[in-house]
Each structure stands twice: as C-alpha cells, then as structure tokens.
Chain A
Amino acid sequence: MARFFVLGLDGVPPELLFEKWSSELPNIRGLMERGAYAGLDSTIPPASIIAWSSFASGRDASELGIYSYTRRNPETGRTELVNSTDVRADLIWDILSKKGMRSIVLFVPLTFPAKKINGIMVTDFLTPGIDSNCCYPAELKEYIKTLGNMELFFDVAGFTEYKGLEPGLLLQNAYKMTEMHVSLIKHLLQTEKYDFFMAVLLGTDRVQHMLWKYFDKQHRHYEDSKLSGELLDFYRFIDRKVGEILALLDSDTTVIMASDHGMKGTEGKINLNDWLVDNGYLVLKDSSRREVEENRKKGRQTKLVFEGIDFSMTRAYSIGAYHARIFINSRARSPEGILDERQRLELIGELKSRLSRLRSDTGRALDTKFFLAKDIYKSASSRECPDMIVYFDNLVWSSNPDLGNSSLYSWKTAVGADCAGHAPKGFFIISGRGIKPAGRIGDVDIHSITPTILSMMGINVPGLEGKRIKIVEAD
C-alpha cells in the first residue's frame, strides 16, 4: 500500500524554487530530479484557506462552501468567521479515516477547531492559542508546549500587528515558528505510524509578503538593504529542514511538496469600495458615512462592515484584500436585494467594462482579469458566493476594501503595508515510491492532487474521477 508524505510551503512560487534559487536548494532540487515537478494552478481566488482546502479535497470553493475568511450570516446580516466546521466537503483525511487509514495532519489552514480523525491533527494559523481545541488527541498539547514559545506556535506575529512588525523581528519569529513546526513533524515521523501525513509550513508566505521588495530588483519599490539576502537565506533554511525531514522517510513513501499559491511583487492598492461609493454603486448608512469622514480627516481608513451598508440603495460592494470579490445586491442573493436577474447581469457587464479601463497611478494600462462565478464554480448559486472576482493587473495591483482614502490608489491598508501578494501559480513536486523521474511536466490543477493520491492508494471517490494528474509511475 502506498504511503504519502505531503509537505506544503505556503505561498512559494515556482520561479524561485525551480529557477532563480534552484542551485541554492540541494534537498528540494534532489527531490525534483528524482521525480516530476510542475507549476500548480491555484484556486480562484488564490487565498490560503480555499486553496489548501481544495488541495486536500479535490473540491472547488463552491463545493466546500468557503469563499473567504468571513461570511455574512444570512439571518443576522453580521460578519462571522469561518472555521473547520463550515467546510461542507470531505477532506482527504476524512475519506481515509472512513477507510480505516491513519492520517497525521499538521497546520493545514482551516482545520481549527480540530476534528476527531483516525490519527493526529494539530490546527493552523486561525487557532486562538494552545489552550483551545487545537489538537486531536488533546494529550499532544503537553509535548507541543515543550517546543518553545507558544505565542508564536501558530503564527509569526502572535496576535499583534503583523504588517507593523519590524522585518528583523518578523524573520526571527518565522525561524522560531518553523523550528517548532519541524520539530513536531520529526517527532511524529519518528514515533507514529501513518498512511497519509500532511504538514504546511507557513513562514515562507509571511516572510515573502513583507520582504519581497528587498530582493526583487524589478519591484517598483525595490530597496537595496541588509535585508536583501534574507529571503534567500530563509529559503536555504527551509531546504535544510526539508533535508532533515526527508532523512526520516523510508523508501516506501511517496513524497509530495507543493504550495497553495505563488507570490508576486505588488505595486499598490486600488481603493475599490471608495470607487464604488464615488460612482454610486455602494451606498453607506449615514452613521457609517460620518465615521468614514471623521477617519478620513485624521488620515485613517475605515473598514467596510455589512452593518454599515445601506442595502436599500446599494447595487454592488466588494470584499477582500489582494483580489476583489464583488457582490451584486440582487434579490436572488438576499431578501434586501434590489436588482433582478437582468439588472444583475447588466451591472456585472457595466462594472467589468468600467473597471477594465482603470489605469495605474502612472497611467499604465492594467492587465485586469475578471472571473464570473458561474464560469469558475460548480455551484455558484449560494448566497455567499461572489458574483465576480477581480484581479487588478493580474494581482500586481491589490484591491483595497477599506474606505476613506484620498485617491483611487493607496500604498497600505488600514493595518499596514506589504510589498507582495498571492500569485495564481504555485509549485508541485512528486517523488519517491511509485514515481519515475520525469523532469518538469505540464502545469497541474490544485483540485487534482487529492484525486491523484486517492487513486494511487486504490480509493475511488464519486465526483473526483477524471481529475488525476498524469504521472509516470514506476512499475
């Protein structure tokens, strides 16, 4: 029986791993040379909780019922957080548990609160602390507490201001967090049996968001500084950790390494909700408008909240940083909706046409991409499903949902500035038992990973057939 070990590196783009820094990363390069590797087409949008959930299920956002970190409660109209109990599809460890197979699942986004599975689960960066329901079985907490600073165990900035963190301290915390995570991975590899093991290392995403402009000479805000070599050093550190982990795997294991999305330098942010307000598509309640004005005078942005929207007058609003999720206030979506189906479709066309003409602050034409829900999702009729997703300049420009900016463009959000955002292309490597060396293969779809693993394990799941990656398998 095939056994799988999956190591996720959040946000790592194929350009850095396969090309720019390949010669610096001997352990990962060795894995590539012994197997097959590819670019990986992420979910739309390439947000970590959706992407990893799709990776681990083979299902798209509409099948998972997960479109974002938050959702609007249809009864109360208030914003609420999503958590692991909101995921509507079976994840691979649920499927394997039903088959009596044992999984170890560590730090995979959107696994909090921990679920009882046949195996072990430690939850992700959306965990409120070590004393919460973060481990199954709960006894594992006692071992985890011996690993170091629990404030940093689930994310690099604890609960403080990540984007306000000084880059040196951010790096220090990313090293500490990763050391703890790898220690736990190694401990469980040495002490536990498994059929499927999956761990996601988060540090690469967190470090890249804030340090990209120090190494990328093409970045609009490039800064040559003592930080310029730090990202490569972090990659070298990750590669050494990969080497330590691989040394603990036996020859009966198939190894997958992958990211959930890539990363690219960003130029700035387009203040989309301000634009929607200025053009009469989004109407705020009086109290909310006053708050935005007061904050604007103090030079502060204001978060858009559902409670502040006048739904009796609003035709469209946007949610989401980096990519924009545009919602049309239609009757089909909500009892407060004001547009019928024909008006909804007309408005989508109108917004698409006007937003595609927006240019950068320097007058450069933007390569903006539009995705209609009905074109990208299997089941786009849910009330939580956005009508349209927008990547300004294919994500070189981010969308800023915050209100009260002085122009169409801004350089930071209400919580601070970063210099890189998620790119749609991640990476994928498969090597080890059952895999022949095949070099670089054609890009793979993130939804095909779980079907491939299940198929190699001899498990057939209805609805996942036909999604398998074509890999040259050893006899």
Chain B
Amino acid sequence: MPGKTTTVSIPKPLFDKIKRLCEGTGFNSVSSYVTYVMRQVLSDTGPEKKDNPLSPDEEEKIKRRLRSLGYL
C-alpha cells in the first residue's frame, strides 16, 4: 500500500516542463518524479544538525589551533 501523500502547488509551466521530462522515463507521473528529486535534494542536506555540541570556549580554543595551523 502506498504511503500517505499530500498536495503541493507548483507553477503550471514548471509542471508542464517536468511532464515533458518524464516522458519516456521510468517515472510514471510528475508526482513520482518530483518526489524522487526532492528526496535527492533533502538527503544532500542530511539530518537537521543538533545544537552545537561545542561550548563557546571550546570553539574558540579549536579556532585558535586551526588558525595556528593555517587552516583558518
């Protein structure tokens, strides 16, 4: 059974462009293509970063070391 889906709005010209792109590919609908692309994009940004695990003092110490090594 497919998972739950919802609707988002995109400009009509963009929809038409994607529809043309999908023709002759393994994507049977604009929705499946957009879902695929969005998954690619979101996997690229990774999970949301948690709060900074470094205290300001720790961060400053590491920055000093990196500056002394010439990396900052």
Contact pick for A125, options B40, B41, B59, B65, CB 8 Å: B65
A160, B68: Cβ atoms closer than 8 Å: yes
A128, B62: Cβ atoms closer than 8 Å: yes
* A297, B41: Cα distance in complex, Å: 46
Interface segment, one of B1-9, B14-22, B46-54: B46-54
Q: Is A83 part of the binding interface, using a Cβ–Cβ cutoff of 8 Å?
A: yes
Beyond A85-B53, A382-B45, is A159–B70 a contact (Cβ under 8 Å)? no
* A158, B31: Cα distance in complex, Å: 55
Interface segment, one of A27-35, A188-196, A273-281, A410-418: A410-418
A-B contact pairs, 9 of them (CB 8 A): A69-B71, A128-B54, A162-B69, A164-B68, A381-B40, A381-B41, A415-B68, A415-B70, A416-B70
State the majority secondary structure of interface residues on A. loop
Q: Is A116 part of the binding interface, using a Cβ–Cβ cutoff of 8 Å?
A: no
State the majority secondary structure of interface residues on B. helix
B68, A159: Cβ atoms closer than 8 Å: yes
A126, B67: Cβ atoms closer than 8 Å: no
- Taking CB atoms, residues of chain A closer than 8 Å to B70 are 162-163, 321, 413, 415-416, 418
Q: Is B66 part of the binding interface, using a Cβ–Cβ cutoff of 8 Å?
A: yes
Q: Is A368 part of the binding interface, using a Cβ–Cβ cutoff of 8 Å?
A: no
* A126-147 interface code vs B (CB 8 A; 1 in, 0 out): 1111001100000000000000
* A418, B68: Cα distance in complex, Å: 11
A126, B41: Cβ atoms closer than 8 Å: no
Chain A residue, CB-CB nearest to B44: A382
Chain B interface residue bracket vs A: 20 to 34
- Taking CB atoms, residues of chain B closer than 8 Å to A133 are 53
Q: Max chain A CB contacts within 10 Å: which of B53, B65, B69, B72? A: B69
**Least Cβ–Cβ distance between B68 and chain A, in angstroms:** 4
Q: Is A253 part of the binding interface, using a Cβ–Cβ cutoff of 8 Å?
A: no
Contact pick for A81, options B47, B49, B57, B62, CB 8 Å: B62
Chain A residue, CB-CB nearest to B41: A381
- Taking CB atoms, residues of chain B closer than 8 Å to A161 are 68
**Least Cβ–Cβ distance between A216 and chain B, in angstroms:** 20
Contact pick for A113, options B49, B53, B64, B67, CB 8 Å: B53
Beyond A382-B45, A415-B70, is A159–B53 a contact (Cβ under 8 Å)? no
Q: Is A244 part of the binding interface, using a Cβ–Cβ cutoff of 8 Å?
A: no
**Least Cβ–Cβ distance between A70 and chain B, in angstroms:** 7
Given A70-B72, A86-B49, A162-B69, output 7 extra A-B contacts at Cβ < 8 Å. A68-B71, A80-B52, A81-B66, A88-B46, A159-B65, A321-B70, A381-B41
* A352-393 interface code vs B (CB 8 A; 1 in, 0 out): 000000000000000000000000000101100000000000
Contact pick for B64, options A159, A163, A382, CB 8 Å: A159
Which 10 A/B pairs are nearest by Cβ-Cβ distance? Answer: A128-B61, A128-B58, A162-B68, A88-B46, A159-B64, A69-B71, A321-B70, A161-B68, A113-B53, A382-B44
**Least Cβ–Cβ distance between B57 and chain A, in angstroms:** 7
Within 8 A of B (CB), among A441-473: none
Contact pick for A303, options B53, B57, B72, CB 8 Å: B72
* A80, B71: Cα distance in complex, Å: 13
Q: Is A267 part of the binding interface, using a Cβ–Cβ cutoff of 8 Å?
A: no
Q: Max chain A CB contacts within 10 Å: which of B49, B61, B71? A: B71
Beyond A86-B49, A113-B54, is A415–B62 a contact (Cβ under 8 Å)? no
- Taking CB atoms, residues of chain B closer than 8 Å to A413 are 70
**Least Cβ–Cβ distance between B56 and chain A, in angstroms:** 11
**Least Cβ–Cβ distance between B61 and chain A, in angstroms:** 4
A155, B49: Cβ atoms closer than 8 Å: no
Contact pick for B66, options A69, A88, A127, CB 8 Å: A69
Q: Is A258 part of the binding interface, using a Cβ–Cβ cutoff of 8 Å?
A: no
* A77, B72: Cα distance in complex, Å: 16
Q: Is A119 part of the binding interface, using a Cβ–Cβ cutoff of 8 Å?
A: no
A132, B45: Cβ atoms closer than 8 Å: no
* A413, B59: Cα distance in complex, Å: 22
Q: Is A424 part of the binding interface, using a Cβ–Cβ cutoff of 8 Å?
A: no
- Taking CB atoms, residues of chain B closer than 8 Å to A303 are 72
* A68, B66: Cα distance in complex, Å: 11
Q: Is A39 part of the binding interface, using a Cβ–Cβ cutoff of 8 Å?
A: no
A81, B71: Cβ atoms closer than 8 Å: no
**Least Cβ–Cβ distance between A47 and chain B, in angstroms:** 8
**Least Cβ–Cβ distance between B53 and chain A, in angstroms:** 5
**Least Cβ–Cβ distance between B71 and chain A, in angstroms:** 5
**Least Cβ–Cβ distance between B36 and chain A, in angstroms:** 14
Q: Is A65 part of the binding interface, using a Cβ–Cβ cutoff of 8 Å?
A: yes
* A37-80 interface code vs B (CB 8 A; 1 in, 0 out): 00000000000000000000000000001001110000000001
- Taking CB atoms, residues of chain A closer than 8 Å to B57 are 128
* A98, B53: Cα distance in complex, Å: 23
Q: Is A157 part of the binding interface, using a Cβ–Cβ cutoff of 8 Å?
A: yes
Chain A residue, CB-CB nearest to B66: A69
* A143-185 interface code vs B (CB 8 A; 1 in, 0 out): 0000000000001010111111000000000000000000000
